[in-house]
Amino acid sequence: MKVYIAFLVQLVLWSVFYIAEWFSTKDHVEYKWIMFALFFYLSFLVAGKIVQSRKLTLFITSSSLCCFFAFKVLFEGVLQLI
């Protein structure tokens, strides 16, 4: 159950990252990478507090990131069709 909660919390954090990235359309690429690193670290810390295992935290963080980007690409593709 802790893994599921950490996964959902991280998806919320990645959604906040997407909104922040959307608001910063005129920023340089370097600033977006810094923002990505900060959100990655924040999501890693949050999952680490919930799960209490480094390997599992890294696995959850990477899988939530992959799922988020897959959903992002899927929904942007669907919006292109509409």
Q: What dihedral angle (degrees, nearest 10) is formed by the CA atoms of 12, 18, 24, 30?
A: 100
Does position 6 have pLDDT exceeding 90, yes or no? yes
pLDDT in tens, 48-77: 999 999 999 999 999 999 999 999 999 888
The predicted structure's pLDDT at residue 33: 95
What's the chain's Rg over C-alpha atoms? 14
The predicted structure's pLDDT at residue 79: 82
